[in-house]
Amino acid sequence: MKRPPDGLGPIIALDRRLAAPLHRQLYEGYREAILDGRLRPGQRLPSTRSLARELQISRMPVVLAFEQLVTEGYVESRVGAGSFVSPELRAPAPPAGRTPRPHPGRRRIPREALPVTAEPWLDLRGPFRAVHPAIDEFPVELWARLLARRTRLMSRQQMMYGDAMGFAPLREALAGYLRTVRSVQCTAQQIMIVSGSQQALAIAARALLAPGDAAWIEDPGFPGARDALTLAGARPVPVPVDEDGLDVAAGIRRAPSVAAAYVTPSHEYPLGVIMSAPRRLQLLDWARRSGAWLLEDDYDSEYRYDNQPIASLQGLDTDHRVIYIGTFSKVLFPALRVGYLVIPPDLVARFRRIRAVMDNSPAPLYQAVLHDFLREGHFARHLRRMRGIYAERRRALVAAIERELGDSVRLVGDRAGMHVVVLLPRGARDRDIAVRAAGHGISVLPLSSCYAGRRQRPGLVLGYGTTRVPEITTAVRRLAAILRE
C-alpha cells in the first residue's frame, strides 16, 4: 500500500545551547502548537525520519518527543498511516475573569466523619508497603555532612521564626526545578513550603472550601485526600476513574456544582492511570466554566520507566485554577516532612494567612539542607540512581506475579511510580487477604480501601520501593499461597 505523503509540521526552533535536551524542546514545541491551535485535531504529522532530516538532527530525539506526545494523548500513532494529532482534542475556551470564592466560618466536624477501622497492614514495615521509598539507598553520610555544615553556619536570625512561605533560597531553587522538569508555570513567590503533601491538602482545603462545599475525588483514590477534605467540612463526591483518568462527564452528572476537584493526573493513585490530554483539557475547561478549583497532587511523577515524566496539569492552566502539590517524602525519605504548594498569584495572601495560623512557619534547618542538596546536584544524581533501582525491582515484581499468579489476576499501573495493583477476581475479599498477609509479615493495601463509592473492584496494592529483589520473589510466593487458601 502506498504511504500517504508526510504531513506539515510547525516551525520548531531548536537551540543546542539550551540546557533542555533536543527531544524535550521538540516535545514542548509540538505540544504548544497543538494547544494553541496551529496543529488541529486529526492533522497528520511528518514522519520521524523526514522531520529529523528537516531539522538536521538524529532521528532519536524526534522518536523520543513523539513517543512522549503519544503517551500523554496529544498524538496518536496509526500503523501504516503515520502520526496524527489526537482527534479528541478540543482547546478550551479563552479564560474569563473570576472572583475568588467567599470563605465563611468553619463548623465542628462530627466524630463519625472519619470512622476508625483496623488496618493492620499499615502497622507493618515488611515487603510491599505502598508509597514508601528505599530509605536504605539514601545517601545518609552526604546528607549528614550537609546538615553539619548548615548547623555550624546557622545565624541567630535563622534560629528565629522563619517566613510562613518557607526558606527563600529553597523556593527559588524549587521554582527553577519545577519550571524545567515539570513544566509548572511559577515563580518563587508562588511557592509555599509545607510539612508534606497532607498538610498541603489541609491548607488548600481550608483556603478554598466552605463547610458543606462538595468536591470531586477520584474513585478509587487517595484516602488521605478524602480525609483532608472531610476535616475541612467539605463533602467528597467520588467520581470514577477510567483509562483516561478522572471521568469528567461522570462527575458533571453526579455533581455539576462543586467547589473543587482533587486529581493525580500524572500517575493516578492507586491505579497508575495517566490522564490523557483530551481529558486534561476537558477538566480545565469545566473548572473555568464552573468556577471550581483543581488540586493537582503530583506525588511521585519523578519515577517513570518507559518514557519521560508526564508534564503537569498546572502547566496547561491559563486561568490560574490549579493548585499544584508536591512532596520530597516519596523521593528522599518520609521523616524529612517537606512538601510544597504552587499557589495562583491572587491566592497567595490567603494561603499565607492560613499557614501562619496553623504553625507559623516550617522548620528552616532542613529546608536549608535541602536547598544545598538541590543546588549542588545531589538531588538529580539521587533521582537517576533510584530510577534504576526501582526499575529493577519493578521488573522483578512483575515477573514474580506473572510466574506465581499467572492468569488468575490482572496487573495494572506498572509503568511508573513505586507500586503496582493486582486486580483480583470479582467477589474476592481483599481486606481479608490483606489481614492474612499482615499475619505473615507482608504489607499489602486492599484496593477496596481506596474506594469511596459503592462500586468497588477487589485488588491489592503492592509497593516495591522498600523491598529488595530477593525479598520480592519470596514474598510473592508467600502471597500466592495465601491467595490459594
Q: Domain check: are 438 and 348 in the same one? A: no
User: Residue 289: inside a domain, yes or no?
Assistant: yes
User: Residue 16: inside a domain, yes or no?
Assistant: no
Classify residue 457 as exposed, middle or buried by CB count within 10 Å of its CB (0-12, 13-18, 19+): middle
Residue 423 pairs in a beta bridge with 410, 459
State residue 149's pLDDT score: 95
Q: Domain check: are 62 and 124 in the same one? A: no
Mean pLDDT of 284-310: 86
Which is it for the CA torsion 294, 297, 303, 304, positive or negative?
negative
Q: How far apart are alpha carbons 485 and 367 in whole angstroms? A: 49
State residue 258's pLDDT score: 95
Look up residue 28 and give its three cell numbers: 514542548
State residue 130's pLDDT score: 84
Q: Domain check: are 462 and 450 in the same one? A: yes
Q: Domain check: are 180 and 125 in the same one? A: no
Return phi, psi of residue 461, to 5°: -95, 120
The answer on pLDDT for 96 being more than 60 is no
CB atoms within 10 A of CB 161: 9
CATH value at residue 470? 3.90.1150.10
- Contact of 303 with 392, CB cutoff 8 Å: no
User: Residue 169: inside a domain, yes or no?
Assistant: yes
Peptide bond just before 220 cis, omega within 30 deg:
yes
Average predicted confidence (pLDDT) for the chain: 87
User: Residue 102: inside a domain, yes or no?
Assistant: no
CB atoms within 10 A of CB 399: 13
User: Residue 422: inside a domain, yes or no?
Assistant: yes
Kind and range of the H or E element at 34? helix 22-35
Q: Which residue has the higher pLDDT, 85 or 98?
A: 85
Percent of the chain whose pLDDT exceeds 90: 54
CATH value at residue 321? 3.40.640.10
User: Residue 109: inside a domain, yes or no?
Assistant: no
148-171 tens-digit pLDDT: 999 998 888 777 888 899 999 999
Among the residue ranges 154-163, 339-348, 464-473, the one predicted with the least confidence is 154-163
Mean pLDDT of 270-295: 95
Q: Which residue has the higher pLDDT, 239 or 117?
A: 239
- Contact of 244 with 254, CB cutoff 8 Å: no
Classify residue 2 as exposed, middle or buried by CB count within 10 Å of its CB (0-12, 13-18, 19+): exposed
Q: How far is CA 448 from the centre of its chain?
A: 21
Q: Domain check: are 173 and 282 in the same one? A: yes
Among the residue ranges 124-128, 214-218, 259-263, the one predicted with the least confidence is 124-128
pLDDT band per the 50, 70, 90 thresholds, residue 109:
very low
State residue 3's pLDDT score: 40
Q: Where are the alpha helices (DSSP H) in 248-377?
A: 248-254, 277-290, 348-359, 364-375
Q: Which of 344, 378, 412 is the last residue of a domain?
A: 378
Q: How far apart are alpha carbons 31 and 176 in whole angstroms? A: 21
Among the residue ranges 156-170, 190-204, 239-253, the one predicted with the least confidence is 156-170
19-22 long-range contacts, Cβ below 8 Å, gap at least 24?
19/180, 20/180, 21/61, 22/57, 22/61
Q: Containing domain of residue 34, as a range?
A: 22-85
Q: Which of 378, 412, 445 is the last residue of a domain?
A: 378
Q: How far is CA 169 from the centre of its chain?
A: 24
Q: Domain check: are 80 and 127 in the same one? A: no
Q: Domain check: are 357 and 444 in the same one? A: no
Return phi, psi of residue 114, to 5°: -120, 85
37-60 tens-digit pLDDT: 888 898 999 998 888 888 888 898
Number of domains in the chain: 3
Q: Domain check: are 330 and 476 in the same one? A: no
State residue 310's pLDDT score: 78
The highest-confidence range among 6-15, 86-95, 173-182, by mean pLDDT, is 173-182
* Type of residue found at 178: L
Mean pLDDT of 462-485: 92
User: Residue 7: inside a domain, yes or no?
Assistant: no
Q: Which of 324, 351, 378 is the last residue of a domain?
A: 378
Q: Domain check: are 281 and 188 in the same one? A: yes
Q: Domain check: are 229 and 280 in the same one? A: yes
For residue 4, give the nearest of 84, 68, 121 by alpha carbon.
84
Q: What is the separation, in whole angstroms, between the first and last Cα of the chain?
A: 55
State residue 178's pLDDT score: 93
Collapsing DSSP to helix, strand or coil, 193 comes out as strand
The answer on pLDDT for 323 being more than 90 is yes
3-state secondary structure 355-384: HHHHHCCCCHHHHHHHHHHHHCCHHHHHHH
Q: Domain check: are 126 and 159 in the same one? A: no
Q: Domain check: are 374 and 391 in the same one? A: no
User: Residue 104: inside a domain, yes or no?
Assistant: no
CB atoms within 10 A of CB 96: 9
414-453 tens-digit pLDDT: 777 889 999 999 889 999 999 999 889 999 999 999 999 8
Return phi, psi of residue 330, to 5°: -80, -20
